[in-house]
Amino acid sequence: MQLDFMQMILLVWLESLISRLHLGREYILLDKDCSPVNRLIYPAPTPLTKGVGILPAIDGNLLLGPTAVDVDEKEDCSTSTEGMNRILKECLDICPYIDTSKIIAAVAGLRAVADTNDLVIGPTAIASFFNAAGILSPGLSSAPSIAREITVTVAHHLKVESNLRFEPENEKRFVLQNYFGKRKRSSSGKTNGTVTSSAAVNR
């Protein structure tokens, strides 16, 4: 894949912004029916992380983890005996009924972390390029506020005026299910659609 000049500038700039990486996704994957756990379980969070959790997957498998260790090598997606032992110890302290003989795999991945010790949100020196980077936990909980912040910043940058007559409408319905596949009722008291996953399904 060839990059144009502007893309190369952006990549170099982002490279300078992200100075270290987390080995933040070191997990153990277990086969189905390996424990009685059917809900997400986390320990009390620390100032640095929400901790190692027990995470039932939609397909019935179980994830244990993750660890969060700073690494310098950008290609290092290896797992470690130390990391696996830590995950097992902390999860078994929470629930000793996990059958560790059903471990399928150990996996890991890298997550970029900014050197600002904070979220990197806002305009840059490059015209029309805005940052929403360095997002750590609780990134999902922060997403609505980040979206609002970026919206206001972009609108101000583009000198966009508010459309007070705008009335958003969405005719689509959403269906939620829990891990047991039960339908959840909408605000009207009716169930909708066929549920196939534990996430919101756009109908």
DSSP track, the chain: ----HHHHHHHHHHHHH--EEEEEEEEEEE-TTS-S--S-B-----SS----EEEE-TTS-EEEEEEEEEES-TT-----HHHHHHHHHHHHHH-TT--GGGEEEEE---EEE-TTSS-EEEE-SSTT-EEEE---SSHHHHHHHHHHHHHHHHHHHHTPPP-TT--------EE-B-TT--B---TTS---S---SSS-EE-
Provide the pLDDT for residue 75: 78
Provide the pLDDT for residue 57: 92
Domains observed in the chain = 18-113 (3.30.9.10), 120-158 (no CATH), 171-203 (no CATH)
Give the integer Cα–Cα distance in Å for 140 and 135.
Answer: 9
Provide the pLDDT for residue 201: 37
Provide the pLDDT for residue 117: 77
Provide the pLDDT for residue 161: 84
Provide the pLDDT for residue 97: 96
The pLDDT tens digits along the chain (203 residues) read 455 666 666 665 565 555 555 656 799 999 999 999 999 999 988 777 788 999 999 999 999 999 888 877 777 888 889 999 999 999 999 999 999 999 999 998 887 777 777 888 888 888 788 888 888 777 888 899 999 999 889 888 888 888 888 877 766 655 555 544 444 444 444 444 433 333 333 33
Tokens 């990134």 correspond to: 139
